[in-house]
């Protein structure tokens, strides 16, 4: 049910919202007002400096009706999945305060908040430990008319709950924009493993927002396999004492890809641990951006925070912007950050060749080894195998690697 009239993203904002509970109408009105006032980001917006959003902002899109990600796996026991639209109709009070990021959203997330029609609510109640991964995917359509979708997912995990979520976002034909938001709420001592794959991402703006109570654990592995324009933001708010998050990512870019990964970890409570390891292989004329921020609030003593971004630059025409940074207001903390951009190690290459490995094959081995360690952290074996295969299939001479692994 594609709407016939095409509009630019901002022009598609209604002036009033009259469906759903009052709090949602208020939230949407607020988001729309902020967007009208501030507009969508430009190159002058610091956090969007390297993201070429202009083409998106000025383009016309038609609205595709289907914003709901598809549930791929049979639902494991101990999990409920409901449609957001249905819950907003029948039990809106259950969602009150859960779709607002704990503060007014900005930019593309605000646009999603104003315009999403439906979505998924995945709930794992207190004490429920779900081992089988929950798999969802959102695939942009392959139509010739430029279209936009606003996928929306809410994950809630109660005290001591455990879950693994595997998300796949796949781009359709050129000109299809997916502007998605995933909100995660982890109760005390809850554990979530989150695997996210961006395949042929097309035009994608994605936002993951995690709020963590005491002793909860959030581990995320994102694998981005190219993208005409991909911008992925993940924010973790460590709100309860002893919470931990680990954000890992691997990105492979080639051709004219533009891939942006932004992280923000806020240590708001003491004794929390956060780690970030992102690795990229950047080829062709592509551009990759890593922008990672760790903020340690004044009361967040005994914080441990580490951040690392390493990049392999495989062509002279590719570009990498990397900017890991820390803002620390507490005094009793252990923090580290670092970034590297480099070529393949010539000593390693020579070692492999001197043993008889042909040069192309040796290059492939070293390239693959650079990102494999990220995928190795995925504990669910079938998923890990799938991600390995996805990486291998994109590395030159990957076929030969497949034969010997």
Partner 1 sequence: MLKIEDLHVEVDGKPILKGINLEIEAGQVHAIMGPNGSGKSTLAYVLAGREGYEVTKGSVLYKGQDLLEMAPETRAAEGVFLGFQYPVAIPGVSNIYFLKAALNAIRKHRGEDPLDAIDFMKLSKKKAALVQLPDELTKRSVNDGFSGGEKKRNEIYQMAMLEPSLAVLDETDSGLDIDALKVVARGVNGLRGPDRAMLVITHYQRLLDYIVPDVVHVLINGQIVRTGDKDLAKQLEREGYSEVRSASQP
- Which two three-digit tokens encode residue 393? 């299939």
Q: Which is nearer to partner 1, 50 or 370 (CB)?
A: 370
Nearer to partner 1, 13 or 281 (CB): 281
Contact 89, 31 (CB under 8 A): no
Report the distance separating Cα 363 and Cα 343, nearest Å: 11
Q: Please, what is the minimum distance in Å from the beta carbon of residue 250 to partner 1? A: 12
Which is closer to partner 1, CB of 225 or CB of 365?
365
Pairing of β 303-313 and β 273-282:
parallel
Q: Are 246 and 275 in contact (CB under 8 A)?
A: yes
Give the number of other CB atoms < 10 A from CB of residue 351.
12
Nearest distance from residue 314's CB to partner 1, in Å? 16
187 CB-contact burial (10 Å; exposed 0-12 / middle 13-18 / buried 19+): buried
Q: End-to-end CA distance of the chain, in Å?
A: 46
Residue 103 gets which letter from DSSP?
Answer: S
Q: Helix, strand or coil for residue 120?
A: strand
Q: How far is the CB of 338 from partner 1 (least distance, A)?
A: 16
Q: What is the spatial distance between Cα 292 and Cα 263, in angstroms, rounded to a whole number?
A: 5
**Contact predicate 240/213, CB 8 Å:** yes
Nearer to partner 1, 67 or 372 (CB): 372
Q: How far is the CB of 48 from partner 1 (least distance, A)?
A: 33
* H or E segment and range at residue 211: strand 203-212
Nearer to partner 1, 229 or 282 (CB): 282
Place of tokens 């005994």: 302
Shortest Å distance, C-beta 318 to partner 1: 21
Q: Which is nearer to partner 1, 317 or 346 (CB)?
A: 346
Contacts with partner 1 by CB under 8 A lie at 345-348, 350-359, 361-362, 365-366, 368-370, 372-373, 400, 404-405
At closest approach, how far in Å is the CB of 315 from partner 1? 20
Closest separation in Å from C-beta 185 to partner 1? 36
Question: Which phi and psi (to 5°) does residue 353 adopt?
Answer: -65, -40
Nearer to partner 1 by Cβ, of 131 and 359: the residue is 359
């Amino acid at each position: 049910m594609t709407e016939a009239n095409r509009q630019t993203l901002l022009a598609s904002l209604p002036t009033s919202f009259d469906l759903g509970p009052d709090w949602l109408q208020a939230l949407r009105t607020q988001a729309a007002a902020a967007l009208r006032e501030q507009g969508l980001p430009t190159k002058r917006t610091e956090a969007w400096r390297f993201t070429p959003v202009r083409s998106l902002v000025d383009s016309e899109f038609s609205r595709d009706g289907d914003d709901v990600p598809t549930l791929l796996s049979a639902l494991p026991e101990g999990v409920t999945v409901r449609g957001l639209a249905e819950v907003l109709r029948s039990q809106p009070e259950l969602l009150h305060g859960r779709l607002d990021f704990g503060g007014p959203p900005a930019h593309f997330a605000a646009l999603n908040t104003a315009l999403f029609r439906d979505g998924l609510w995945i709930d794992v109640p207190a004490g429920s430990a779900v081992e089988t991964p929950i798999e969802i995917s959102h695939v942009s359509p392959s139509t010739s008319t430029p279209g936009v979708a606003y996928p929306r997912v809410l994950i809630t995990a109660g005290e001591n709950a455990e879950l693994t979520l595997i998300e796949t976002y796949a781009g359709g034909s050129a000109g299809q924009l997916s502007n998605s938001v995933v909100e995660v709420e982890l109760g005390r001592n809850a554990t979530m493993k989150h695997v996210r794959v961006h395949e042929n991402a097309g035009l994608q703006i994605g936002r993951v927002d995690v709020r963590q109570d005491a002793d909860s654990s959030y581990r995320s592995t994102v694998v981005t396999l190219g993208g005409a324009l991909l911008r992925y933001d993940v924010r973790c708010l460590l709100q309860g004492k002893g919470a931990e998050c680990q954000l890992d990512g691997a990105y492979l870019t080639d051709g004219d890809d533009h891939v942006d990964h932004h992280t923000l970890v806020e240590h708001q409570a003491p004794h929390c641990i956060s780690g970030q390891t992102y690795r990229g292989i950047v080829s062709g004329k592509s551009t990759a951006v890593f922008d990672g921020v760790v903020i340690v609030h004044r009361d967040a003593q005994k914080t441990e925070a580490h951040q690392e971004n390493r990049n392999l630059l495989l062509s002279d025409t590719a570009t990498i912007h990397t900017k890991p940074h820390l803002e620390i207001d507490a005094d009793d903390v252990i923090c580290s950050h670092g970034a590297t951009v480099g070529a393949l190690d010539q000593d390693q290459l020579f070692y492999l060749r001197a043993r008889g490995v042909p040069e192309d094959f040796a290059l492939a081995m070293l390239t693959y080894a650079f990102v494999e360690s990220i995928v190795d952290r995925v504990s669910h074996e079938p998923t890990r195998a799938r991600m390995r295969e996805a990486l291998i299939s994109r590395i030159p001479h990957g076929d030969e690697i497949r034969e010997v692994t």
